[in-house]
Chains A and B, each alone.
Chain A
Amino acid sequence: MKCMPTLADLSLHQLARICNLRVNAELGQRLVALGLRPDREIMVIRRGWFAGPLQVRVGATEFMLRHDAAHLIDVEILHS
């Protein structure tokens, strides 16, 4: 399966499936603990002002992560 877009490319409330995390080990560990893992579905709820973080939802958990991290998370857009 080929994953072109990253989490940073998603428009708001667009459902996507996580493919691959290319972030460093420490951040990866935290993201995985928050539920951001391959094959899970993810959605961007909001982007912060002043190039602030992204608010995302995975399962019933909402959390924020930064743009530079979002650029390193490959996703596949789900059209449904």
Chain B
Amino acid sequence: MKKIALVGMPNTGKSTLFNRLTGGTARVANWPGLTVDITTGKILLGSFMVHVADLPGIYDLEGGAEDERLAHAFLAETDLDAVVLVLNAMQLDRQLALALQLKALGVSLVVLLNMADEARAAGIRIDLEGLSAELACPVYAVCAKHGEGMPEFNKRLAAYLRDSRPHRVDFSGLTANADWHAAEADLFARFVSRPPTLPAGPTEKLDRWVLHPLAGLPIFIVMMFCLFQLTYAIGSPLQDGLEYLLGTVKSAVLAPLAQNWPGFLSGFLVDGVFDGVTTVLTFAPIIFLFFSLMAVIEDSGYFSRAAFMMDGLMSRIGLDGRGFVMLMMGFGCNVPALMGTRVIRDYKARLLTMLIIPFSLCSARLQIFLFLSGALFSPTRAPWVLLSLYLASIAIAMGSALVFRKHFPSREPFALELPPYRLPVAGHVWNRGWGETREFLKLASTMIVTGVALVWVLTHYPSEQASLAGIIADFFQPVLSPIGIQAELSIALLFGFVAKEIVLGALSVIVGHEGADLATHLANTLDGVSAYSFMLFTLIYIPCVSAIATVRKESKSLTFTSFSVLWSLSVAWVVSFVFYQGARALGF
């Protein structure tokens, strides 16, 4: 077995190359530093099985961020047959030094100039043979995104690996990156020709609007609004279809089948597990659409623009523009966003960012809000209810940072690349949408089934009139009734602590209805104010067990993790209390 690693600066397309090489589905985005972990895969190259590792981006070999240290340690501890250095063909004027620096350490290097299509479009010409002779290693130009030049590269890499000998990178003889700047400038001058002024591309024209001091922010809000309006508009009919289908399965197949089963078993399986899982499953189309659309935004390069626009504001609350982008990533799922904080070097700044990410309204919470706002508010009002929850999510996150910024003083170096806009590739968008849906279905088939079954037992044991759930609900009543959350909802909240995906399933088991009937039941028992208070509390109180575990793992501090949980719980209660009592006092 041969081993190779993909190394390069952030946002040079290493993960895209990795996916192209291995047929894998590593997450990619047009955002520097998306990969914070090492992804591995296997491919057959010629007659060898090759183990490929995709490393986080490094600016140089002296970097100090967590993700850079990870890449560094991997190179020092792994026997590699080749290090594939991926460079952005557009930016050789500052990336060739990394090749020289690695070369000086005696690494057996294969240099890959990625994004050759962009360089060609900009009129940049590169003398590959000259560079290869001067660097004394193979140099190829490819476009990993569209696969241009890849078959040729695979063939050459296989040939290269035939004679390779595994070695570790010995960092003891490390020279400073700056020592190579003169040699880099020399290489660039001899082997790369660039037109004196780069033509003003579509990126410049788009940025004039997207980064406009006045228009920029409204454009951002409109975009986010479109994101979930579109998810809602396409997703709802699909959801209804799926619900109808599963309802038919229940009445035509399951119910007749269960007729002769003992009462407890049929109740448990049909009204418990099946109803609960049905309610959750109907959200699969929403998950797919949401993450596909999110992938389009990620691929486009908009995240860096959002960081640029929000940095002025974020710097005042002790963070930088990247913190805002991580909040946006958190809209998908808080866990990868929490891991994304590894690009931040300063520990305190990282903690402050980790403190606010759990407030961002993730797709699991979105399911609950879509359902409740659809059930309790008119179709014209529901999107505004959702938008207000997104804004509340951002406001509470930022408010928390503002409150605690003094306790997390940061000396974080902030300089972030603004890559050109890039068109999303259908394959990536599909991979992301389907990948997340698959994960969701896996979760639904294990944890959600278990959770829903447990809820059924709790609500039916020892009897429906005096169940365990009732006892637990009574216990929490003194705390939850001042914020308008009644008995049946408090059990759902308890399960929402494990994962928000369970909440709707749990609700349908508790009230004994699923889908549209559940919506009607809720509309009859709740009013707008208490439903909104419930949504606020659900948004803020705690994301899920996985997110807390991630905070613990990334912060390496139990104290900080407990603090983060306590803070969320208290903010959730106070905000819901103020809203609920305020709205009631005003006569709503």
CB distance from A51 to the nearest CB of B (A): 5
B329 at the interface (CB under 8 A from A): no
Interface check A20, CB cutoff 8 A: no
B91 and A61 contacting across the interface, CB-CB below 8 Å: yes
Is there contact, CB below 8 Å, between A59 and B308? no
CB of B123, distance to nearest CB on chain A (Å): 11
Is the Cβ of B177 less than 8 Å from the Cβ of A60? no
Are B312 and A61 in touch, CB under 8 angstroms? Answer: no
Report how many residues on chain B are interfacial, defined by Cβ distance under 8 Å.
41
Partner of A60, one of B93, B207, B216, B308: B93
Nearest-neighbour CB distance to chain B for A44, whole angstroms, equals 13
- Contact residues in B for A64 (Cβ distance below 8 Å): 307-308, 311, 321, 415-416, 418
Q: Is the CB of A59 within 8 A of B93?
A: yes
**Contact between chains at B122 and A60 (CB < 8 Å):** yes
Interface residues of A in 5-38 (CB under 8 A from B): 24, 26-27, 29-37
Within 8 A of A (CB), among B51-98: 59-60, 62-64, 90-91, 93-94
A29→B312 contact, CB < 8 A: no
**Distance A9 CA – B549 CA, assembled complex (angstroms):** 47
Bound complex: CA of A60 vs CA of B437, how far in Å?
Answer: 38
Compute how far the CA of A46 lies from the CA of B214 in the bound complex, rounded to whole angstroms. Answer: 13
Q: Is the CB of A61 within 8 A of B417?
A: yes
Q: Per a CB cutoff under 8 Å, which of B59, B311, B413 touches A52?
A: B311
Q: How far in angstroms is the closest Cβ of chain A from B89? A: 10
Asked whether A48 lies within 8 Å of B60 as measured between CB atoms, the reply is: no
B243 to chain A, nearest CB (A): 45
Give the nearest-CB partner of A36 in chain B. B415
**Least CB separation from A63: chain B residue:** B417
Given the known interface contacts A33-B59, A59-B94, A60-B91, the answer about A53 and B308 at a Cβ–Cβ threshold of 8 Å is yes
- B60 is contacted by which of A26, A33, A51, A66 (Cβ under 8 Å)? A33
Provided the pairs A46-B207, A53-B311 are in contact, do residues A29 and B59 lie with their beta carbons within 8 angstroms?
yes
User: What 0/1 pattern do residues 38 to 80 of A give for CB contact below 8 A with B?
Assistant: 0000000010111111010011111111100100000000000
User: Beyond A30-B413, A34-B417, A61-B91, is A49–B216 a contact (Cβ under 8 Å)?
Assistant: yes
Q: Is the CB of B62 within 8 A of A29?
A: yes
Contact, CB under 8 Å: A69 / B415: yes
Interface centre among B207, B417, B418 (most CB of A within 10 A): B418
- The answer to whether B181 has its CB under 8 Å from any CB of chain A is yes
Complex Cα gap A62–B583 (Å): 49
B93 contacts A32, CB within 8 Å? no
Given A60-B122, A63-B417, A65-B414, the answer on whether A50 and B312 have CB atoms closer than 8 Å is yes
A35-B91, A59-B91, A60-B90 are known contacts. Are A48 and B416 too (CB-CB below 8 A)?
no
Taken together as a complex, chains A and B put the C-alpha atoms of A51 and B216 apart, in Å, by 15
Inter-chain contact count A-B, CB under 8 Å?
105
Asked if A66 and B416 make an inter-chain contact with CB atoms under 8 angstroms apart, the answer reads no
Give the residue of B9, B94, B194, B313 whose beta carbon is less than 8 angstroms from that of A50.
B313
Docked CA distance A48–B324 (Å)? 15
B520: Cβ under 8 A from any A Cβ: no
B119–chain A nearest beta-carbon distance, Å? 9
Residues in B neighbouring A50, C-beta threshold 8 A: 312-313
> Per-position contact with A for B195-207: 1 when CB-CB < 8 Å, else 0?
0001000000001
Of residues 391 through 420 on chain B, the ones whose CB sits less than 8 Å from some CB of chain A are 411, 413-419
CA distance A59 to B311 in the complex (A): 24
Whether A49 contacts B309 in the complex (CB less than 8 A), given A30-B413, A61-B417, A63-B416, comes out as yes
The reply on B242 being an interface residue by CB < 8 A is no
CA distance A65 to B213 in the complex (A): 17
Per the bound structure, the CA–CA distance linking A70 and B94 in Å amounts to 20
Please give the distance in Å from B95's CB to the nearest CB on chain A. 9
Q: Does B150 contact A (CB under 8 A)?
A: no
Q: Is B445 interfacial (CB 8 A cutoff)?
A: no
From the candidates A30, A49, A69, name the one contacting B59 in the complex (CB within 8 A). A30
Interface residue? B345 (CB, 8 A): yes
Contact between chains at B94 and A66 (CB < 8 Å) = no
The interface residues of chain A lying within 8 Å CB-to-CB of B419 are 62
> Which of chain B's residues have a CB closer than 8 A to the CB of A61?
90-91, 93-94, 417
In this complex, what residue of A is CB-closest to B89?
A60
Q: Which B-chain residue is minimally distant from A34 (CB atoms)?
A: B415
Closest B residue, CB atoms, query A50: B312
On whether the beta carbons of B415 and A55 are closer than 8 Å, the reply is no
Neighbouring A residues of B90 by C-beta, 8 Å:
60-61
Question: Given A49-B216, A63-B418, does the pair A27, B413 have CB atoms closer than 8 Å?
Answer: yes
In the complex where A53-B312, A64-B308 touch, is A37 in contact with B91 (Cβ < 8 A)? no
When distances are taken between beta carbons in the complex, the residues of chain B under 8 Å from A27 are 413-415
Complex CA gap A33/B214 in Å reads 32
Contact partner of A31 (CB less than 8 A), chosen from B213, B309, B313, B415, is B415
Within 8 A of A (CB), among B156-210: 177-178, 181, 194, 198, 207
Chain A residues with Cβ below 8 Å from B415 are 27, 30-31, 34, 36, 63-65, 69
Please name 18 pairs of A and B residues whose Cβ atoms are closer than 8 Å in the assembled complex, sorted by A.
A24-B413, A29-B59, A30-B59, A30-B413, A31-B415, A33-B60, A46-B211, A48-B312, A52-B311, A55-B211, A59-B93, A60-B194, A60-B198, A61-B93, A61-B94, A63-B416, A64-B307, A66-B311
- Pairs of residues from A and B, 8 with the lowest C-beta to C-beta distance, nearest first: A52-B312, A50-B312, A27-B413, A33-B59, A35-B94, A49-B213, A59-B93, A62-B418
